[in-house]
Structures are given as C-alpha cells and as structure tokens.
Amino acid sequence: MYDPTIRTVVEVVSAILCFILLRFMIKPYKLTGEGRYLGLPLGFGFLGVSYVIGAIAFAQTFLPNRELAYIQLFSRTFAYCFLVVTYYFSKKPSENSRIKWDITLSLLIVALTASIVVAIIIPQFAVDSYQAAQVYVRIFNIICLIYISIHTLRSHIKKPDQTTILIPFGFILLGTSQYSLLIWAIDESIFAFNGALVLRLAALAIFLFVSYLTFNYSKQRSSK
C-alpha cells in the first residue's frame, strides 16, 4: 500500500543529504572559480530542490499536488542533465570546451525554466500527462545515469582508488532506483516503489561518504 507519509519522510531525508553534498561539492568552484566545477553542486542542488518539492507534493493525505509533482519531475531530470554535462566536460579543460560548457549550462537553465513555467501556467497539461511523463522521464534519467556510471567507472579503472570505486556504484544504485520507479509508474508495484526509495537513500549515503573522505584527505594533505 502506498504511504504518502513514508514518501514524504524519504524525500526530506534525501533533500538533506543532497544539500550536505552540495556543501562539499561547491568547494572546488570556490577555490578555483572555474565554471566547469559548477556542474556537480548544481546537479545535487537541483536534486535536493526536487526532493523538497516532492515532499510538499506528496505530503497530502489523498492525491498529491500534480502541478508540484510535475515540477519536481522536471527539476530532477535536469539535475541528472547537469551531472551528465559535468562529467562529459570534466576531461576537456581547453578554452573551446569552456565556451561549450557555458553555452550548454545556459541552455539547460533556460530549458528548465521554460519547463517549470509550462507546468505552472498550463496545469491541465501537467495533470493529464503526468503518468505518461513519468515513464518517458524515468527512461531518460536511466540513460543519463548509465552514461555517468560508465564514465566514472572508466575514470576509476584509469586511476584505481579504494574510494572512487564507490562513485560508479552509487550512480548504478541511483539508476536502479529510477528503473524501479519506472516499473512502479507502469504497473504500480509497491515492492518496486519501496525498493527505489531504499536504493536512492543508499546511493546518496555513498556519495556523502566519498565526499567526506575526499574532503578530509584533501584537508590532511594541505595541512602537511
């Protein structure tokens, strides 16, 4: 049975984890001022915002607020887009790649804004198409997370480290979570739904663990 209280609690906890991750991931940008380091904090920041919106949307006793639910669906998808372009441009520090990154980032922000405006201005569209949108959006999210998982796994293979192996594993868990939500959107399997929430929390906990270790390691190196 679907329990909106459990869904709301998980959304709130997920948002808290994302905002803690944001605090860690904004540090490289603060230190260097390079725009390409904005992708990760933007990605996890929008992910956290989507969980906050989701908590509000699904906190209702009966039917969730479909307009808000639609907005959180969009913002979560664009969060994964920010992560994809960040990893895509991560190994391309040339001046040309910086220009492409700035253009891509601007286009993503414009597209996100336009999507949210559509969901707010045309609530009938947001309500009627939400079920179908879930399916298409989950598929797109899975594709994004597959790309990120492969990219981070290749990076680990090139430079093996006992903590970096956890990064692709975390994204694999997020991708599996999206796949479980896709199953739930199609046949309303409560087992798939609950599994998706558990997998999401596990993935975010892994990212937080890796960020904490990386931050402490960098701090120890700088103090020596």
Q: What is the pLDDT of residue 54?
A: 85
Q: Where are the beta strands (DSSP E) in 71-136?
A: none
Task: Kindly state the percentage of the chain with pLDDT values over 70.
Answer: 78
CB 84 within 8 A of CB 120: no
**Does position 14 have pLDDT exceeding 50, yes or no?**
yes
> How far apart, in whole angstroms, are the C-alpha atoms of residue 110 and residue 60?
30
Q: How confident is the model at residue 94 (pLDDT cuts 50, 70, 90)?
A: low
Place of tokens 């994204």: 171
CB 144 within 8 A of CB 81: yes
What's the alpha-carbon Rg for the chain, to the nearest Å? 18
Output the average pLDDT for the chain.
Answer: 80
Tell me the whole-structure pTM to 2 decimals. Answer: 0.83
Q: What is the pLDDT of residue 62?
A: 47
Instruction: Write out the two tokens for 204.
Output: 């975010």
Mean pLDDT for the stretch of residues 120-133: 62
Domain ranges for the chain, please list them.
Answer: 4-223
In our burial notation (b when 16+ CB lie closer than 10 A, e otherwise), range 9-39 reads ebbbbbbebbbbbbebbbebbeeeeeebbbb
CATH architecture of 4-223: Up-down Bundle (1.20)
Q: Phi and psi (nearest 5°) for 204?
A: -65, -35
Mean pLDDT for the stretch of residues 164-168: 86
